[in-house]
Structure 1
Amino acid sequence: MANGGDYLKSPDLLPVTHQQRNIGTFGFAVIWVGMAIVLAAFAIGGTAIMSLSLPMVILATMIGSILIGVFMTLIGDIGIEHGLSFPVYMRAPFGTFGTHIPSIVRGVTASCWFGLNTYFGALAINGILNLLFGFNNWFLCFLVFAALQLFNTSLGIKSIERFADFAAPVIILISCWMYITLADHATAEGKDVWTWVESPTTGMAAFTAFMVVIMANMGFWATLAADMPTLSRFFKAPKNERNWFKRNKTQLVGSLIVMPLTNTFIVTIGAVAYMAVASADPINALQQSASGIVLGVLLLMIVLAQWSTNTSANVIPAATIFSNIGGPKVPFWAAVIIAGIIGIIAQPWSLFGILVNALLIIGGILTAIVGILFADYYLIRKRRVNVKDLYELNGQYKYMNGFNLAGLIAWLIGGIIANMFPTYSSLVGFFVGALVYFVLAKYWWFKKYPQAELDDPSDARYLGITAGHDWDDIIEQEIVEQEIEEQSA
């Protein structure tokens, strides 16, 4: 670890090469279907329908989904262009050691999401076993379901894509079935799903409720917006393609079309569930509105949906972060287990009732990081990155004992101001974080700590796939040369 920063070069964190990028547009779209069917989103719909009509809930959800999808796609270019994961690139705006502070927040948040989704899946499994065999022990189901998901994730990204290929069409079909079942139940209760509102609001109160739904949806996916490079580094993209839209086609289709449509549908089901049975808890809603084989199949959908979401959107990002913090002593499979343990001890069965309020807080904190990444990557470095030094303990990203104070101060200010305006938290976090970081980094911090890509803005030296580079080859060669030098000494 003390030897030239070898721990920064953990094999799981090296840039992904062009040959290793095996997820195409359709593959990512399928993964998004699996990721976006998250039953925790029921809470957004259930809360929103108390004060807004279903058409307004749908509109607000679509706006929030598209906005956060734009953030995802912008930040995901880091993975497309340079093959870098989130915790590795974070060394640029936060420092080689400072990166661990926001990364831990992101990793723990993802682990808690894993726990919450596993809890819903376990309740569904328990419901299925209860139907078939009279079995009733949801906590045992919780532990077994967690173990299965962690094992699946430890097998790698291709295993996850294969599971999503299987799960996605089943999930889509059964989601439609789920909507119809709940809508019919609501109609039988005398409620028109398109006009019913529990406590209608007007004027400014209605606008505030509308914005809360937008921000809740942005907060819901803010973790993945910051961490998209961890996934996007595996996406297929053409070498030497200078057109940003052509290079990011895989992301654009997945994050701006598939995710908003799927997420909006799930939030809609949550709203209809509340109309049907006065509860947005998906398991409770289904058990009150369906029975027999119909209930069993709908519960199976919940299991598949939570499994597919957790592996891609929660466990992989969290494990990558924990592997980065632990270095070679914490390989990816061990980091997967750490993420699972955190998700379990977070007691996710207590989180669902406070989810919307938590999303407004989380959204502001995490979108401030997204804003900082945007300012650092696009506005200051203009997509050029001295990738080699990201893996050097004493390189340009060491800054002040491993800390970039511009990033840490901007994150603190962005997070605090965002939560002073919770109705607009995600937007405030993004813009304040970006603005404060841009000013501090450009006019203060990088005057003290020069950056090679700013002093010599060479596309040929500091762009990745656009210039035809595979950074992994360069870094591995340096590792070999360093080992030879150490052996000679």
Structure 2
Amino acid sequence: MKKEESYLKSPDLLPIAHKDKKIGTGGFAMMWVGMAVVLAAFAIGGAGVQSLSLTWVVVATIIGTIGIGLFITVIGDIGIEHGLSFPVYMRAPFGTIGTHIPSIVRGLAASFWFGINTYFGATAMNAILNVLFGFDNWFVCFLIFATVQLVNTALGIKAVERFADLAAPVIIIISVWMYASLSEQAISQGREVWAWIESPVTGGAAVTAFLVVIFSNMGFWATISADIPSISRFIKAPRFERSWVKRNKGTLVGSMIALPITQTFMVVIGGVSYIAVSNYDPVVALQEAATGLVLGVLLLMIVLAQWSTNVSANLVPAATIFSNVGGPRVPFWAGVIIAGVVGSVVQPWSLFNILIPILLIVGGILSAIVGILFADYYLLRKRRVNVPDLYEKDGQYRYMNGVNAAGFIAWFIGGLAAYFLSNYSFLVGFLVGAGTYYVLAKYWWFKKYKQAEMLDPSDEKYLGITVGRDWIIGSDSESQAVQEVGSGLDEGR
């Protein structure tokens, strides 16, 4: 076997077969409950009620999260249909070598977020141990907390889902208690929770504030909407199902129901917290009143929230990306360790005030990749993919020395537009990235480098689960597509 071919055919990056899709609809929804409980969601609520009533902040949040949930589901079809991860499919719009550059940007961002979230979880864990046993060493807590998360993720996607099933109900219960306690604090100060506004705005300023809340919610999940195939490839879906909606039921329920509900509730808690004590962080607000066991329970939620967010939203995508870069010598579990080491060694918590804006800007720039993926997968290839060639060093995705110039030009232009229009970065990046890539690829790049699925748009040759196919990639340069003949029964449920 040639080295280059082995590099492209890392076992952890091969297409996931139908029988190996382990996450059910409920499991993915629970993963979203855990992922959506993050400090940034509280911040959106706190910032929103400074200009708008909480009612309008909620409306904007629902619009934004349903919108981003749709984008996540749309891109997630890459994983559902073909069992492909994010860095592997990126070989189509960026090339077999070019895929590494945008992928590494996302992988590093995910690793830094892991470090930041682990720091917050470790400080909460340290506070719990301090209350119970008088122990006070946040760095020891950091090492323990990081190790536990890395082991959980390295055990595989099923272990990640099982933890989410455990953590989500606890998070929901504690969140309801937090809301009730914060509302009581606000009311005790004579502030009507759903009508209070710190500095009311009207007219055009109100419209702008409303749009900022919408795009803040969308922009925060831009990175997940790009690399969701790394998770969605494990979600159960029926074979022989021609309906896009029915085939993507698992991601639809999670991304367009569980995410909006959870995110909106977290934004509400952040808003109520700001109304009560002028601080969007509910932990800071409730620490003034909570002591002993109550404070311990509150801090436990912070630990679980950081854990559940990290394993699904940061470690799984980062590990998949690092495994793609390293090839067979870097299996998934090794990618998990690399992500953990990178996110810890750089100590991102010490650069919090600088790093958070940078990471949010990176998220906006990555929104152009979502547009490029959409244009490549839906508009150009019509969901048909020559999957075997994604794993061939001399296949159609090699392009010019492994680089698709159309993808990089579109990413640069789309990312630049998103940067300069940061308040609306996700939508701007998506539209500019998608439009630029479509024009460049269709009328220039793919004229030079022919794409089999575009020349011969055959469902039987280039679709996956819709026609009952598992993509089997051989180790001897000969890949095959195993296709079951059936009546369309959903045999995986």
Query: TM-score scaled to structure 1, two decimals?
Result: 0.94
Q: 2:282, 2:115 → 1: CA distance?
A: 16
Q: 1:348, 1:308 → 2: CA distance?
A: 19
Matches within 5 A, 1:1-80: 3-80=3-80
2:474 corresponds in structure 1 to 476
- For residues 374-414 of structure 1, the C-alpha deviation after alignment (integer angstroms, 9 at most, x for no partner) is 00000000001000000011111010111000000000000
Amino acid at match of 2:21: R
Q: 1:360, 1:323 → 2: CA distance?
A: 25
Instruction: Identify which range, 442-451 or 264-273, moves more after superposition.
Output: 264-273
Amino acid at match of 2:225: A
1:342 matches 2:342? yes
Conserved? CA contact 2:388–2:479, under 8 Å: no
Q: 2:34, 2:467 → 1: CA distance?
A: 33
- For residues 232-254 of structure 1, the C-alpha deviation after alignment (integer angstroms, 9 at most, x for no partner) is 10111111111101100111111
Conserved? CA contact 1:215–1:363, under 8 Å: no
1:177 corresponds in structure 2 to 177
- For residues 449-481 of structure 1, the C-alpha deviation after alignment (integer angstroms, 9 at most, x for no partner) is 11111111111111111121111x2x1364589
2:367 corresponds in structure 1 to 367
Tell me, what secondary structure is at the counterpart of 1:289?
Answer: coil
2:237 corresponds in structure 1 to 237
Unpaired runs of 5+ in structure 2? 481-493
Conserved? CA contact 1:365–1:429, under 8 Å: yes
Conserved? CA contact 2:6–2:475, under 8 Å: no
- For residues 428-447 of structure 1, the C-alpha deviation after alignment (integer angstroms, 9 at most, x for no partner) is 10011000000000000000
Matches within 5 A, 1:128-277: 128-277=128-277
Change (3 A) 1:356 1:197: farther
- For residues 135-167 of structure 1, the C-alpha deviation after alignment (integer angstroms, 9 at most, x for no partner) is 222222122111110111000001111111111
Amino acid at match of 2:401: N
2:444 corresponds in structure 1 to 444
1:422 corresponds in structure 2 to 422
1:486 corresponds in structure 2 to none
Decide which structure has greater helix share: 1
Q: 1:316, 1:75 → 2: CA distance?
A: 17
Conserved? CA contact 1:360–1:423, under 8 Å: no
Amino acid at match of 1:98: G
* TM-aligned CA deviation for residue 32 of structure 1: 1.2
Conserved? CA contact 1:124–1:300, under 8 Å: yes
Q: 1:350, 1:53 → 2: CA distance?
A: 34
* TM-aligned CA deviation for residue 285 of structure 1: 2.5
Amino acid at match of 1:428: V
Amino acid at match of 1:127: A
Instruction: Identify which range, 302-311 or 225-234, moves more after superposition.
Output: 302-311
Tell me, what secondary structure is at the counterpart of 1:297?
Answer: helix
Amino acid at match of 1:73: T
Q: 1:45, 1:449 → 2: CA distance?
A: 48
Q: 1:365, 1:119 → 2: CA distance?
A: 26
Q: 1:311, 1:60 → 2: CA distance?
A: 28
Matches within 5 A, 1:395-434: 395-434=395-434
* TM-aligned CA deviation for residue 289 of structure 1: 3.4
Instruction: Identify which range, 333-342 or 44-53, moves more after superposition.
Output: 44-53
Tell me, what secondary structure is at the counterpart of 1:470?
Answer: strand
* TM-aligned CA deviation for residue 5 of structure 1: 2.1
* TM-aligned CA deviation for residue 337 of structure 1: 1.2
Conserved? CA contact 1:43–1:356, under 8 Å: no
* TM-aligned CA deviation for residue 187 of structure 1: 2.1
- For residues 174-203 of structure 1, the C-alpha deviation after alignment (integer angstroms, 9 at most, x for no partner) is 110111112212222332221222222222
Q: 1:405, 1:123 → 2: CA distance?
A: 45
Q: 1:481, 1:233 → 2: CA distance?
A: 19
Tell me, what secondary structure is at the counterpart of 2:228?
Answer: helix
* TM-aligned CA deviation for residue 360 of structure 1: 5.4
Conserved? CA contact 2:269–2:282, under 8 Å: no
Q: 2:278, 2:182 → 1: CA distance?
A: 11
Q: 2:164, 2:124 → 1: CA distance?
A: 19
Tell me, what secondary structure is at the counterpart of 1:15?
Answer: coil
- For residues 200-223 of structure 1, the C-alpha deviation after alignment (integer angstroms, 9 at most, x for no partner) is 222222222222211111111111
Q: 1:59, 1:139 → 2: CA distance?
A: 40
Unpaired runs of 5+ in structure 1? 483-489
Q: 2:161, 2:464 → 1: CA distance?
A: 25
1:326 matches 2:323? no
Q: 2:40, 2:116 → 1: CA distance?
A: 8
Conserved? CA contact 1:80–1:233, under 8 Å: yes
Amino acid at match of 1:128: I
Query: TM-score scaled to structure 2, two decimals?
Result: 0.94
Q: 2:231, 2:134 → 1: CA distance?
A: 40
Conserved? CA contact 2:7–2:327, under 8 Å: yes
* TM-aligned CA deviation for residue 101 of structure 1: 0.8
Conserved? CA contact 1:322–1:330, under 8 Å: yes
Conserved? CA contact 2:283–2:298, under 8 Å: no
Q: 2:461, 2:179 → 1: CA distance?
A: 53
Amino acid at match of 1:258: A
Conserved? CA contact 1:43–1:352, under 8 Å: no
Q: 2:60, 2:277 → 1: CA distance?
A: 23
Amino acid at match of 2:208: T
Amino acid at match of 2:6: D
Instruction: Identify which range, 207-216 or 240-249, moves more after superposition.
Output: 207-216
Q: Cα RMSD between the aligned structures?
A: 1.9
Change (3 A) 1:312 1:215: same
Give the aligned length. 480
2:283 corresponds in structure 1 to 283
Change (3 A) 1:178 1:148: same
Tell me, what secondary structure is at the counterpart of 2:437?
Answer: helix
Conserved? CA contact 1:25–1:251, under 8 Å: yes
Q: 1:170, 1:481 → 2: CA distance?
A: 45
Amino acid at match of 1:197: I
Amino acid at match of 2:382: K
* TM-aligned CA deviation for residue 359 of structure 1: 6.5
Q: 1:212, 1:251 → 2: CA distance?
A: 26
Conserved? CA contact 1:43–1:355, under 8 Å: no
Conserved? CA contact 1:86–1:227, under 8 Å: yes
* TM-aligned CA deviation for residue 40 of structure 1: 3.1
